[in-house]
Amino acid sequence: MNIKFYDFPVHGDDYGSLVAIEANKDIPFEIKRAYYIFATKMNVRRGLHAHKELEQIAVCVAGSCRFHLDDGYEKAEVLLNSSSKGLYIGKMIWREMCDFTPDCVLLILASLHYDLSDYVRDYQEFKKLSTEVALVKFDRFFLDLSWHWLNDPEINQMTMTGAITREDQLRFFESLDKRTDYTIFGIRAGVNAGVCGLKSIREGSAELFIYIGEKRLWRKGIGSRALEMLEQYGIQIGLHKIWLKVSKCNHNAFNFYLARGYRIASVSCEDERFHLMEKSL
C-alpha cells in the first residue's frame, strides 16, 4: 500500500520542544495546503473518501486517532499518537479516521489546493477506479520502480533479466523516443503494478513481455487484462503474430499463456532456459 511513516527530528531544550517540517526535504512534496481537525466528537468517523491525485501527510500533534486505509486490494489500520511522526498517504487510498481522543489535533499537509473534483466519496466508485487496469506511459517513475522490481531475485529469474546497472537502464530509457521497433507501457491498476510492451517489431510480428512487479498483486487478474490490451494494441499497429520467451522454471506463466491461446512456436528453440511460445492475432 502506498503509505509510509516519516519520523521528524525533535529539537528541544529546557524551554520545550519544536518539530519543523520542510517541503521536499522532510516530506516528499511541495505543501500547497494545510489544515487541522480538532474537537471531534466521540464515536465519529471522518474522512470517508480517497483522492485521485492529492498526496497527504497526517500528523497527530496532540492526542491520538486511528486511520483505516484501503487501496482497493489491501486494508491497513494505523494508530497515530506521536507529534513527531507523519503518516504519508498516497493517491487513491481510501481513508477513514476514528477513535479520536478528546484532545486530538490532527494536522494534514496536502500536495494540492482544495479541488472538489479530486475527491472520490463513493466507496464502490473508488473500488472500481482503484482496480481498473490501464496501460499508461512508461515514465521515469516507472523506470525507478522497474529497477527495484527487476532486482527482486524471484522476478529477475522469471523474467530472465540478468544483471542490469543503473547506467544501462538510463541509456535504454533515453533511447525509447527514437525507436520504432520497441513499445513499452506501465501497467496501472489503481497503483503502479508492472510493465509490459512489444519489442523486435517488424514484418507484422513482435516479441511481447509482461510482468507484475508488485508481488502482492499477483493472481488478481491484472496480468490477464494487461495482456488483452497489449494484444489489441498489436492488432491496431498491424501485427499478425506475437511471441515470447517463457522461462522453463516458470510453470505458472507457461500455463497462463497456454490458457490464452499461446502454443509452442513452430520454429525450433535450442535454448534450454525457456519455451518459445506464439499466438496469431
Of residues 165 and 271, the one with the higher pLDDT is: 165
> Is residue 71 packed enough to be buried (19+ CB in 10 Å), middle (13-18) or exposed (0-12)?
buried
Q: pLDDT value at position 191?
A: 81
- The torsion of the CA quartet 115, 121, 126, 127, rounded to 10 degrees, works out to 170
CA 58 to CA 234: how far, in whole Å? 44
- Give the residue-averaged pLDDT of 194-218: 94
CA 38 to CA 255: how far, in whole Å? 55
Looking at the chain, the whole-number percentage of residues with pLDDT higher than 70 is 98
Looking at the chain, the whole-number percentage of residues with pLDDT higher than 90 is 78
Q: How far is CA 217 from the centre of its chain?
A: 10
Average per-residue pLDDT for the chain: 93
Asked whether residue 1 carries a pLDDT value surpassing 80, the answer given is no
- Give the residue-averaged pLDDT of 30-46: 95
User: Across-strand partners of 166?
Assistant: none
Q: Give tens-digit pLDDT for 152-168.
A: 999 998 888 888 889 98
Q: How far is CA 169 from the centre of its chain?
A: 19
User: Most confidently modeled of 50-54, 64-68, 249-253?
Assistant: 64-68
Q: pLDDT value at position 268?
A: 63
Cell of 92: 487513491
Q: pLDDT value at position 272?
A: 77
Q: pLDDT value at position 273?
A: 81
Q: By three-state DSSP, how is residue 245 classified? A: strand
- Give the residue-averaged pLDDT of 65-72: 95
Marked catalytic residue, from 11, 49, 51, 148: 49
Active site residue 49: yes
Cell of 53: 491525485
Asked whether residue 66 carries a pLDDT value surpassing 90, the answer given is yes
- Give the residue-averaged pLDDT of 228-257: 94
Q: pLDDT value at position 24?
A: 92
Q: pLDDT value at position 271?
A: 67
Asked whether residue 104 carries a pLDDT value surpassing 90, the answer given is yes
Is residue 76 within 8 A of residue 1, CB to CB? The reply is yes
- Give the residue-averaged pLDDT of 172-187: 94
Is residue 50 within 8 A of residue 118, CB to CB? The reply is no
Asked whether residue 269 carries a pLDDT value surpassing 70, the answer given is no
Ordered domains of the chain (ranges, CATH): 3-129 (2.60.120.10), 133-280 (3.40.630.30)
Cell of 98: 476514528
